[in-house]
Amino acid sequence: MQQDWQPSCSLELLRLRAELLHDIRRFFHGRSVLEVETPLLGDCTGTDPQLAFFSTEFCRTPLQQRLFLQTSPEFAMKRLLAAGSGSIYQICKAFRNGESGRFHNPEFTLLEWYRVGFTLPQLMDEIEALFAGLFNGYGLQAARRMSYQAVFQQHTGLDPLQFCHQDYCAYAVANGLPEAVGLCTDNHLLWLDFIFSHKVQPLLGDNALCMVYGYPACQSSLARISADNPDTVDRLELFINGIELGNGFYELTDADEQDRRFTKEIQVRQEQSLAPVFKDQRLLAALAAGLPDCSGIAIGLDRLLMVLGHAKAISETLSFSIDRA
Amino acid sequence: MAVYSTNEFRAGLKVMLDNDPCAIIENEFVKPGKGQAFNRVKIRNLKTGRVIERTFKSGESLDGADVVDVEMQFLYNDGEFRHFMVQDTFEQYQADPKIVGDAALWLKDQDFCFVTLWNDAPLAVTPGNFVELEIVETDPGVRGDTSGGGGKPAKLVTGAVVRVPLFVQTGEVIKVDTRTGEYISRVKE
Please write the tens of the pLDDT for every residue from B117-142: 999 999 999 999 999 999 999 988 66
Q: Count the Cβ atoms, other than its own, within 10 Å of residue A280.
A: 22
Q: Omega before A62 cis (within 30°)?
A: yes
Phi, psi of A63 (to 5 degrees): -105, 155
- The neighbour count for residue A122, using CB atoms within 10 Å, is 13
Position A315 confidence tier, pLDDT thresholds 50, 70, 90: very high
Give the pLDDT score at B144: 59
Identity of the residue in A103, A179, A244 whose CB atom sits nearest the CB atom of B55:
A179
Which pLDDT does position B143 carry in this prediction? 60
**Residues in chain B within 8 Å Cβ distance of A180:** 55
Predicted local confidence at residue B147, as pLDDT:
57
Would you place residue A3 in the very low, low, confident or very high pLDDT band (cuts 50, 70, 90)?
confident
> A48 — contact with chain B (CB < 8 Å)?
yes
Give the CA count within 13 Å in the CB-facing half-sphere of B59. Answer: 12
A173 reaches B (C-beta below 8 A): no
pLDDT digits (tens, 9 = 90+) for B52-80: 999 999 999 999 999 999 999 999 999 99
Tens of pLDDT along B144-186? 555 556 789 999 999 999 999 988 999 999 999 999 999 999 9
Residue A116: pLDDT over 90: yes
Share of chain B above pLDDT 90, in %: 81
Write down the pLDDT at residue A63: 85
Q: Is the minimum CB–CB distance between A107 and chain B shorter than 8 Å?
A: no
**Band of pLDDT at residue A141, cut at 50, 70 and 90:** very high
pLDDT of residue B146: 58
pLDDT band at A99 (very low <50, low <70, confident <90, very high): very high
Beta strand extents in chain B (DSSP E only): 3-5, 14-17, 20-30, 38-45, 51-57, 61-63, 67-77, 82-85, 92-95, 112-118, 121-127, 130-138, 152-156, 161-164, 173-177, 182-187
pLDDT in tens, A292-310: 999 999 999 999 999 999 9
In one-letter notation, the amino acid at residue A32 is S
Q: How far is it, in rounded angstroms, from Cα B167 to Cα B161?
A: 16
Q: The pTM is what?
A: 0.84
Pick the CATH number of A11-140+207-317 from 3.40.50.300, 3.30.110.30, 3.30.930.10, 1.10.3720.10: 3.30.930.10
Nearest to B16 by CA among B33, B8, B4, B34: B4
Kindly report the average pLDDT of chain B as a whole number. Answer: 91
Q: What is the model's pLDDT at position B141?
A: 66
What's the rounded mean pLDDT across residues B10-35?
A: 93
Q: Per-residue pLDDT for A75 more than 90? A: yes
- Measured between beta carbons, which residues in chain B are less than 8 angstroms from residue A198? 30, 40, 55
Asked whether the beta carbons of residue A190 and residue B36 sit closer than 8 angstroms, the reply is yes
